[in-house]
Every structure is written in C-alpha cells, then in structure tokens.
Chain A
Amino acid sequence: MREKRVPMRELSPEERVKSFAEVALGYSAEEAMLEAKRCLQCRDKPCVTGCPVGIDIPAFVQAIREGEFERAIAVIRESNYLPGITGRVCPQERQCEAKCRLGRRYEPLAIGALERFAADWERARGVRKPAKAESTGRRVAVVGSGPAGLTVAAYLAERGHGVTIFEALHEPGGVLAYGIPEFRLPREVLNAEVEYVRSLGVEIETNVLIGATYDIDELFELGYSAVFLGTGAGLPRFLSIPGENLNGIYSGNEFLFRINLMKAYLFPEYDTPVKVGDRAVVIGAGNVAMDAARCAARLGAEVQVLYRRSEVEMPARREEVRHAREEGISFRFLTQPAAFLGESRVHAVRCLRCELGEADESGRRSPVPVAGSEFEVEADTVVIAIGQSPNPIIAMKHPEIETTPKGTIVVDEHGRTSREGVFAGGDITTGQATVIAAMGAGKRAAKAMHAYLRGLSP
C-alpha cells in the first residue's frame, strides 16, 4: 500500500505565469492505474456519499485499475455528463476524497484526478455517440447553459424529450465559459462536453435572455411543456465602501469575463481589453478570488490577496491556493478593506486589521476590525471577489415564481418552483455554490421533470 498518492504532473510555476495553458497535466495511463491500485474498494462506498451526483466511484476506479478505461468512463457517465469538467474543478477534498477511508491514515485516493483521466482518455479517442431513447414528442426549455442547465438538458434528451437551451451570452457554458480560466479548464474540454450534450440532440440558442427576449409564458406558448431555470448567481457583490467606483476596480465577474470569455489576455488580437498594471489586489478568498489573482499574475502584476478571516477559513479549493502561492501570489489575512484611494484610478486600499470573534451563521469565526489599525496597501488594480448574488431578471419579470429575501428561487426537493411546469436548480436556488452541486440539483430536477412530462396528458 502506497501511503502517498501518485502526484499529477504540473507546469512549473515559471512556465505557468507566462501563459494561460492548463497547469495540471493529468495522469498517464500507467500513473492512473497505479493510483487506482490504492483504492480499498470499501463495500459501503463512503466516497459515493460524498459525491453530489452519486458517481459509483469504486466501480470506475476498479475499471481503471484493470486498464478498462472505456468501462470506467461509461460508469462515470451514468451519473455525470461533464466528467472532464468536474474532474478539474470539483472541491474533491471536501466531497468524495474527504470520505475516503485511505484518508484516515494516508493521503486519500486521488478520485478527481482519476475521473479527469477517464474523461481525457475518452476525449482523446473521440467521445462516442450516446444512445438515445425514442422521441416522446415533448419539448423542454432550459434557461442557462451552465452546469445545471447542461445536466438537465442531457438527462432529458437521453430520455427522448426535445430540449432547447437558451443562453443569454454568445457562447454556451455559463460560469464554465466566463468564470473559470483556461489554465484550470481549457476551452477544448468545455467545448467537448458541450458537444456531447449537443450530440444528444440538444439545441443551444445563444443570445436569448429569458425574461427579456422571451418570457416564460411565451415559452409555453411556443410549445415547451416544462421549463428549467438554471440562471445561476451572476450578480456581483460590492463592498459599498468609499472609492469603489474608481477606475481599475473590477468585480471578479468583470475581470474574469474580460479574460476568459472575451480573451482580453490576447488583446489586441481580440478586441476586449483588460488593464492590470503593476500591483493588483484581490479581495476575497474563494475560487473566484484565486482565479482572478492567478489571471492577474499571468498578466504581469504583483498580486496580493486580502482576506478578512484567517487562512483556515478560506473557501477556495486547496489546490487553487497552493497553485496561487507557487505562482508568487501573497496573502494578507485578517485584513478588511475600508476605502479605496485615488484620483481617477485607484492607487491604494485603506485596510483595517481584524481579529477573529464568535462563529457566524456560516460556522466560521467572524472577523472583527481592530479600531485604529488602519494601513494602506498600494494597488493600481483591485478585483472584488466577495461573492455573487442570484440573477434577478426572471424573478423581476415573473413575480408568480416565489423567491427568498436573498433572491434565490424557492424550490422543493424535486426542484419544483411555485409555478406549475417550471423547475429550477443550481446557484439560482442555493446562492453561489459549486459546479457539482449545481449538477446534482439539475439531476434531481431533471428526474422530476421527466416524471412530470410523462404525467402530462398527450
């Protein structure tokens, strides 16, 4: 029994900070088989209970161990339509790998790396055409092409329903396209997963904003029998402190949208610019903050992350924090911004030192600013990555769809909203969470939609 997992090869930090190429390089077949050997094949499969979509992890790991890669990917695809994505972006250390029995004494099995291997192996050979059920004659509208929407679309298309996804942006993928940088999720991986969903017969209509271009009543009039809302948490939060609208201050969304979706890092070959300057400060410590910090480093800035809590409370994936550190990004913990200083463009952030007080509603100890502890951090770029709120456009247009005071759409355990035939899932129902949680919610809703569609009179 090897105590340590087979390490995944990575680009060196020196190479990384010069490009947007993927950092983690994946396992070779030999490495994957070697890692798969570490699996204890627990009968009660604790890892599966940690997986929001319930992949039969021991089964696909066993298949990899035996060199049966085709079987491995088939097992994964039974529960997960986007394995190349989840293998890269899931917080495995808090999900499947946290439940791995190996982890009691050794390093847990590298489940994410193995999932990624299986997905990459399949993509390299060309994703096979999936089998499809006979057409039911029913049509479904899916709003939003992020992880929840893609999952719902794939599940229902597989069962013979006609599915159209409506996407407001000019490219499908939602947060996978505008939010997650290429060095974590290469576009070819995303494109291949979207192609897989298309190969099931799903139509994707871009440049359609539901709530504006069409409202939900029009979707039913057009002949869709059910609607899924997977519109995500796309509204950036700001700090509401002085100077926040100075030039050079971006929301995490704006910064990443420019770089990822619009490819501003290739300006002027691409038309959309981004300015980063010499010193960038990123506020927040989630995955969006890490992505923004690492993008800024690649664009030549010296980057500091400011976080008002301490290191242990950071919500980002552990690997992202490690990669950020390796790339020269520094962290200032227990630091809370109080104001942005500058004339036209920001030149500094005035901060307060914090101490940790009582645990808050999230269970984390909440920061308490220390009076008189002001200090300044120089910055010519600031990225505010303190979270996103649910997208309000549909709720504004459709008051009959019940929402919470936080703006999330209210659903039951089957993803049903207060309007008949309208389902929802993902960040729009939970608030900002993970790709895999959105896929899990999508899957639950899709099952309920399938039952709903079958129950409709013909």
Chain B
Amino acid sequence: MRSVIVHKEELAPGYKLFVIRSPQVAKKIQPGQFVMVRVHEKGERIPMTVADFEREAGTITMVVHEVGKTSRMLAGLEVGDEILDLLGPLGKPSEIRHYGSVVGICRQGTAGALYSILRALKQAGNRVTVIMGAKSREYIIFEERMRGFCDEVVVATDDGSAGMKGYAVAALREYLKKNRVDYILAIGPTKMMKTVGRIAKEHGIRATASLGAIMLDGTGMCGACRVTVAGSTKFACVDGPEFDATEVDFDELQRRQEFFREEERLSFELYEEGT
C-alpha cells in the first residue's frame, strides 16, 4: 500500500507536521494507535504516533520530531514523496469513555499524539483540560488546535516565555490543588510520565501513560518493547501502548530505551556528516 505525503509544515524548530495519504490506515485507525515507518532501503523500522486522521480524505497526520537519523530523513521528505513502508494501525486504541473531568499532559511534539485522543474524550462528554509543556514559547505546538475543543489549555515553559514557568508536571500539581480530576492521560518523556504516575497515585486518580518503547516489528513478534506493568511483563506494541501510569516500571523503560543510545548517536552523526 502506498503512503504519499500531501501536506507538510514546520511546527517548531525540529518539529514537522505531515499529512499522509494512506486511505486504509485512515479508515481503520482509532485515537491512541500508532504506525510503523521505514524510510529507506537500509532503514530501521520506528513506531510513530498518529496525531490525527481524516477518514473521508484518507489521510493521517503525524508530528515528526527530528531526534535521530530516521526522523531526520523522514522530516526531509516533501509533498508528493512516498513513505517507503508504513504499517498500521497498530496497538490498542485509547479507552474513550465518559470519565468526567480529564487532563491530558504532554511536552512539545507529543501534543500531536495527545490531540486526537483528547478530542475523542471531549466528544464522549468529558470536560477536557490540556497541560502543554515546552522548553520555550516556540516549542508549544498544536496550541490552537487544542484550543479548538479543550475546556482549558494550560501552558508551562521551562524558561517562562509562555504560560507558567516550570515543567508541565508542576502545572499539573497546581491544577490538582484547585480542580477535581477523574482521569489523567500522559504522553511525553518517560521521566515526565513517571512523575505523572506518582502524582496520580498520591491523589488516587486513574492515569494512563502512552509508552515510547523500542520496537522492531510493532506486531508482537520481537518483545523488544517489553515493559513491566504491575509486576508482569507486557508488550507495549500489542498490549499497549497505553498502560496504567501508576503501575508502569518507568525506570526499566528508561533503561531499555537507552540501550542503543550510542549506536543511534553514531548512526545520526554519520548521516549528518554525509549530507
């Protein structure tokens, strides 16, 4: 199946938005699911969360954060280019139901992954607040889109250039002082999600984290993405990617995410030297 880029825009330095025509994936995907992508013949397979989809137009939207060779190459593609391999939709959909008052929390590009889930939660009758963290103002992405349906948008920047100064998790703590929350959904850096899990546990709030584990096939075959949840091993690709944030062993996840860090760096450096 062909997957062709029909729209591209820069959201922030190092963050690009792509709209990709892939009708069958667009037809089947549910909020919270992901796709596996490979961009060249000697390339690796990486999981990519899907920010949005339009079933009638047959498109899916992805936010690409340029952190390594594959994402840099993906970000370098232009409108009309084909994505070599795109498989999906994968993983379990996010559990969309009426929780009551919902908070979504993200950092920079992961706002994309949160977007369609929060919109579906809004449609399911929840009161929806999003807490968006970033280094600085220019890295707050998807803010306008979020404002389109969220009841409340809270912005936090590390340098205070927009919203409150500090991390998103600090904004979450502040928010919880004044508001009753029934459900928290965190998508972002592992450390952030770990803190969200701890906060949720302290407050006795149900919370979910969408995990960014290393994956190869994305369909349950390799076990690279195994994570410990409530003491038992799960595969993020088929049992997740969302899990109870109060039960995930985030330290293990972080350690496993970093196992190939050196190789990823080498691969990226060689690519950057060559281009």
Within residues 384 to 407 of chain A, which ones have a CB less than 8 A from any CB in chain B?
391-393
A315 CB, nearest partner CB in chain B, Å: 21
B38 interface residue (CB < 8 Å to A):
yes
- Chain B's closest residue to A266 (CB) is B42
Q: Is A28 an interface residue (CB 8 A)?
A: no
- In the complex, chain A residues whose CB is within 8 Å of the CB of B70: 271
A271 vs B28: C-alpha distance when bound (angstroms): 30
Q: How far is the CA of A267 from the CA of B42 in the complex (A)?
A: 10
B42 contacts which of A208, A214, A271 (Cβ < 8 Å)?
Answer: A271
Which of the candidate stretches B58-66, B128-136, B201-209, B262-270 sits at the interface with the other chain?
Answer: B262-270
Contact status B87-A207, CB under 8 Å: yes
At the interface, yes or no: A373 with Cβ under 8 Å from chain B? no
**Contacts A212-B28, A245-B228, A258-B216 known; A263 to B42 CB distance under 8 Å?**
yes
Query: In the bound complex, what is the Cα–Cα distance between A253 and B264 (angstroms)?
Result: 21
Q: Does B109 contact A (CB under 8 A)?
A: no
Q: Which residues between 209 and 254 of chain A lie within 8 Å of chain B, taking CB atoms?
A: 209, 212-214, 234-236, 238, 240, 244-245, 247-248, 250-251, 253-254
Partner of B24, one of A214, A235, A263, A271: A214
Contact at B222–A253, with CB atoms within 8 Å? yes
- List residues of A (297-353) whose CB comes within 8 Å of B's CBs: 344-345
Check A271–B267 contact: CB distance below 8 A: yes
A262 part of interface (Cβ distance < 8 Å): yes
Interface residues on B, range: 35 or more
State whether A271 and B238 are in contact (beta carbons under 8 Å apart), knowing that A240-B233, A247-B259 are contacts in the complex: no
A170-B45, A247-B255, A271-B267 known; A257 and B220 CB under 8 Å?
no
Task: Pick the most buried of A205, A213, A258, A345: most chain B CB atoms within 10 A of its CB.
Answer: A213
A207 to B82, CA, bound (A): 14
Within 8 A of A (CB), among B234-275: 238, 252, 255-256, 259-260, 263-264, 266-267, 270
Contact status B42-A270, CB under 8 Å? yes
Given the known interface contacts A271-B69, A393-B238, the answer about A262 and B233 at a Cβ–Cβ threshold of 8 Å is no
Contacts of A178 in B (CB 8 A): 217, 221
Q: Mark B100-126, 1 if CB is under 8 A from A, else 0.
A: 000000000000000000000000000
Bound CA span A271–B265, Å: 11
Which of B1, B69, B221 makes the CB contact (< 8 A) with A257?
B221
A168 CB within 8 Å of chain B: yes
Closest to B255 in A: A344
Contact status B223-A271, CB under 8 Å: no
In residues 190-212 of chain A, which contact B (Cβ within 8 Å)?
A: 205-209, 212
- In the assembled complex, the Cα of A232 lies from the Cα of B89 at a distance in Å of 20
Q: Which residue of B lies closest to A258 (CB)?
A: B216
B212 interfacial by beta-carbon distance below 8 Å? no
B219 at the interface (CB under 8 A from A): yes
- By a CB distance below 8 angstroms, the chain A residues around B252 are 245
Q: Is the Cβ of B222 less than 8 Å from the Cβ of A207?
A: no
Q: Answer whether residue A420 sits at the interface, using C-beta atoms and an 8 A cutoff.
A: no
Contact of A170 among B28, B85, B88, B223 (CB under 8 A): B85
* B94 → A minimal CB distance (Å): 16
A109-120 vs B: 1/0 string, CB under 8 Å? 000000000000
The reply to whether A257 and B263 form a contact with Cβ atoms under 8 Å apart is: no
What residues of chain A lie closer than 8 Å to B85, measured between beta carbons?
Answer: 170, 206-207
Are A168 and B87 within 8 A (Cβ)?
yes
| Residue of B with least CB distance to A208 | B1
Q: Does B17 contact A (CB under 8 A)?
A: no
Contact A207:B86 (CB < 8 A) given known A240-B233, A253-B222? yes
Interface status of B168 (Cβ within 8 A of chain A): no
B267 touches A244 (CB 8 A): no
Bound CA–CA A51/B192 (angstroms): 58
Per the bound structure, the CA–CA distance linking A205 and B206 in Å amounts to 41
Asked if residues B1 and A262 are in contact (CB atoms below 8 Å), the reply is no
**What chain A residues lie within 8 Å of B69 (beta carbons)?**
271
- Flag if B256 contacts A247 (CB, 8 Å): yes
- The answer for the CA separation of A272 and B42 in the assembled complex, in Å, is 8
Please, how many angstroms separate the alpha-carbon atoms of A254 and B215 in the complex?
A: 9
Chain B window 177-211, contacts with chain A (Cβ cutoff 8 Å), 1 for yes, 0 for no: 00000000000000000000000000000000000
Residues of B contacting A262 in the complex (Cβ-Cβ under 8 angstroms): 44-45, 216
* Residues in chain B near residue A275, CB distance under 8 A: 259-260, 263
Partner of B87, one of A213, A270, A271, A273: A213
Q: Is the CB of A168 within 8 A of B266?
A: no
- Tell me if A14 counts as interface (CB < 8 A to partner B): no
The smallest C-beta distance from A296 to any residue of chain B, in angstroms, reads: 16
Contact B260 A236 (CB under 8 A): no
Using CB atoms, name the residue of chain B closest to A206: B85
Q: Report which residue of A206, A254, A271 has the largest number of chain B beta carbons within 10 angstroms of its beta carbon.
A: A271
Is B226 at the interface (CB under 8 A from chain A)?
yes
For the complex, give the distance between the alpha carbons of A208 and B27 in Å. 13
| Known A271-B70, A273-B260; contact A168-B219, beta-carbon cutoff 8 A | yes
Roughly how many angstroms separate A253 CA and B225 CA in the complex, as a whole number? 13
Apart from the given pairs A209-B219, A268-B267, 10 other A-B contacts in the complex at a CB distance below 8 Å: A170-B38, A170-B45, A207-B1, A213-B88, A235-B221, A247-B259, A250-B223, A268-B266, A271-B43, A275-B260
Q: List 20 A-B contacts (CB under 8 A).
A: A168-B87, A170-B84, A170-B85, A205-B1, A207-B87, A212-B90, A213-B28, A214-B24, A244-B233, A245-B227, A245-B233, A245-B252, A245-B256, A247-B259, A251-B223, A267-B263, A269-B42, A270-B42, A271-B70, A392-B238
Residues of A within 8 A of B (CB): 168-170, 178, 205-209, 212-214, 234-236, 238, 240, 244-245, 247-248, 250-251, 253-254, 257-258, 262-263, 266-273, 275, 344-345, 391-393
